[in-house]
Structure 1
């Protein structure tokens, strides 16, 4: 193996015995001093950290469980949780590598936070790590939504659930706001990036510009700007481009790079496509093409391919089809499902699990309603998330090869800045639906705005949100305690109403 000898000039050299040591060379003497491995002093102010120790699958498993259980607040909050634990606390992945992976996941259909977890798990432990991280990320939410769906369908009364969630939603709002500030602070490093973020927010909030159009425009702007003025557009630097410091060293940078090969791509495609379409064909053969299970499998497979920009981008379409075309839901029930998904851990797209459950519960076919609902929930979740693993395992090896490409870095920097505007739009949308009981659409020329009804404001929710922001930004009680305290406050308010 080889190490770096740190002195007034750095030298790379192999160790014959296969071991390693840290050597400081003093230019005034002809010999060097040998020290044990580990951090050591370069001068009065700088130290070089030792490479992090390998992480076992067991340790990774419990860390991903922790990430999953804390993944409230939609994609912004979930990405913030991963950044805090994996980048700041564990130092498993560096800032540039994390943002590079996030940018790639933002370009894919499906929940970007779940795909980011899969990507980082793949970087650390290959396909096993990706499967573990991605599955654990959705498991708590899937179990929670299934249990809440059963209660909702069986008793037709979600009053106690609503009381529980009443305080949780404003707390989640505070977490989303923190996430927007955290991500923006790391990306919006100059006026050009800030201008891109502002244009992104104005386009999607005021003019309803589709998310893929915003991403394509930002990427093209970055490519052109990276060629003409790279100093303004290359915000996300390639990982490993400079000497590591104590704040930059991470585990992923020490791991061997996973190569992209045609054999790997073919194998991933065969396995994932079989797992994706095999159950659909089996449902058609066993239950017929008219069964609700086959219809749900096909419909949500289509939705999985077009869900760019997160769940909000397709919620209106899903609600319309589920209510008017398939009659799986009654009018207004989509919002109940959305409330469940917004206030349980995991991706917001888990609302489709509620839709799948209710659709099968009301059209059970040869099964009992409850058994049909559970089967419909499983089918819907399966066809929604198998494609997510496919995109990551197929594309990640190729995108890793492009990390040092300067033009790609400029394009991804612009895309990240645009994503800040999109996430801010989601935060505003979430705030309106949390702090107001009714939000109406108003059209003014080419503008279509969601405007809160001020007569339908919710003072208790606003008070809880303010308190949650105070806990988040002014204290160190942590996310779990913030959620628990605000949930207790919400229950108390509901009991007094």
Structure 2
């Protein structure tokens, strides 16, 4: 190993070993951000020990602050820590491409036959089993991240704020960071001595970073220049070659803007995307947006891949190309302008993020962000559980609170049985994750066939 790795001695993977694990993560990354973060934690921290807990949470904190899909960016960050830019590219692409390929294939099937319920049914069991994966991760991350009463209070406050008060995600994260820094500066004994420990530099200060993970102005300028060209070069070419009103040029501009403003993940921006794509551009119908969301939720990869469905339909219907070729071009444009910026944020910012682990007040601020992230993951887990276990979930306003109210008559007993069985297998018997997911998928398919 030519350079010191930011992982424990003897735990550093070869590029091919990392490829194998990140490919597995990409193929199994169901369940939205909560499930995907859980999966990465299980493989990278627990099983292979390529990253320690503090570094994983530190990277997650940064990715939660960025626009775009936090789980995809976390995978990119982890790959970058292990093998530099080539590792980050490999991990990020492996996280996105399997789901993108599946979603494009399903979108093509939807265009041809107009019905994808059978596909969603086949993935029913897998989706239910992810509930257990999310719960397992939430328990483990909570135990490691919530070390004191103030951290628990921040996590609970973050959960209430995002789940019931509708407070914007960036405001929650920035508020938590401010609270953590203030508590540290005022030397609060409950927070400073205990809560800052998980992300402080103490446990890793003796682990030197490789050259690619150290800040360098020349490298920063080079990285920013290259990725800005990769981002805006094709954008300008599309506008110049096709004209500003061509659907592919419009999609390139639209999804570039989405890449820069999607703070808080896909859920925070889906309403805006749906309104623009349906009402302004007319690329698809309102019910088709829901179909795309359902497909994205039942395929691997980040939920933001629903944009591929939108881009495919828009270009298939409004470009001069054959619908198949036009749709593929629209999907490619969507993928490029949605995810190229994600690599820019990680490769440019990660070296500087790594250095702040040695700054105690920043470590305390990020410890508070870690606590808030636990609350956010809990919210995602609850949201996911409600929509898996119930066919209809309403919302009721009680004062300033918006409370979810599932329709008890729409309870899905089959999904509950699969989720419970998967939970027992993982939490009680520590069964192999892939085996549990495969058996759950088979159970879901069997239930579909017999009409359960």
The question of a shared fold, defined as TM-score above 0.5 by the shorter chain, is answered with: yes
Q: Distance in 1 between matches of 2:208 and 2:448?
A: 50
Compare relative contact order (CA 8 Å, sep 6+) and give the higher one, 1 or 2.
2
Structure 2: runs of 5 or more not aligned = 1-6
- Does 2:112 correspond to 1:150? no
Q: Which residue of 1 aligns with 2:307?
A: 352
Specify the alignment match of 1:20 in structure 2: none
Shift, 1:474, TM fit? 2.2
Q: Deviations over 1:79-125 (max 9, x none)?
A: 22222222222222212111111111111111111111211222222
Is the CA contact 1:51–1:254 (under 8 Å) kept in the aligned structure 2?
A: no
Corresponding position of 1:268: 223
Q: Give the 3-state SS of the residue equivalent to 2:273 in structure 1.
A: helix
Question: Is the contact between residue 239 and residue 403 of structure 1 (CA under 8 Å) also seen in structure 2?
Answer: yes
Give how far 1:339 is off: 2.2
Query: Contact 1:124/1:255 (CA < 8 Å) preserved in 2?
Result: no
Instruction: Give the superposed CA RMSD.
Output: 2.0
> Corresponding residue for 1:10?
none
Q: Distance in 2 between matches of 1:54 and 1:448?
A: 46
Which has the larger helix fraction?
2
Q: Equivalents in 2 of 1:483, 1:336: separation in Å?
A: 24
Number of the residue aligned with 2:17: 59
Q: 1:467 to 1:54 in 2, by over 3 A?
A: closer
Residue 463 (str. 1) matches residue 425 (str. 2)? no
CA deviation string 1:162-195 (max 9, x = no partner) = 2212222211222222222221111011111110
Q: Aligned partners of 2:399, 2:9: CA distance in 1, in Å? A: 58
Distance 1:333 1:450, change over 3 A: farther
Q: Following the alignment from structure 2 to structure 1, what is the Cα–Cα distance between the partners of residues 337 and 54?
A: 32
The TM-score, its normalising length taken from structure 1, stands at: 0.84
Residue pair 1:93, 1:253 contacting (<8 A) in 2 also: no
Match of 1:238 among 200, 207, 231: 200
1:303-352 CA-partner distances (Å, limit 9, x unpaired) = 11111121111122222222222222212222322222222221121111
Deviation, 1:50, is 8.6
The structure with the largest alpha-carbon Rg is 1
Q: In 2, distance between residues paired with 1:337 and 1:165?
A: 15
Q: How does 1:222-237 map to 2 (within 5 A)?
A: 222-228=180-186, 229=188, 230-237=192-199
- 1:282 paired with 2:237, answer yes
Residues 356-411 of structure 1: CA deviation (Å, up to 9, x unaligned)? 11221222x22011111111111111111101000011111111111111101110
Helix, strand or coil at the partner of 2:269: helix
1:489: which partner in 2?
443
Pick the aligned partner of 1:342 from 297, 300, 311. Answer: 297
Residue 25 of structure 1 is matched in structure 2 by: none
The answer as to 2:162 corresponding to 1:175 is: no
Normalised by the length of structure 2, the TM-score is 0.92
Q: Single out whichever of 213-222 and 463-472 deviates more from structure 2.
A: 463-472
SS at match of 2:123: helix
Q: 1:235 & 1:242 partners in 2: Cα distance? A: 11
Count of matched residue pairs = 441
Shift in alpha-carbon separation, 1:164–1:362, aligned structure 2, 3 A = same
In structure 1, the partner of 2:327 is 373
Q: Structure 1's 329 and 257: CA in aligned 2 closer, same or farther, altered over 3 A?
A: closer
Q: Identify which of 304, 314, 328 aligns with 2:259.
A: 304
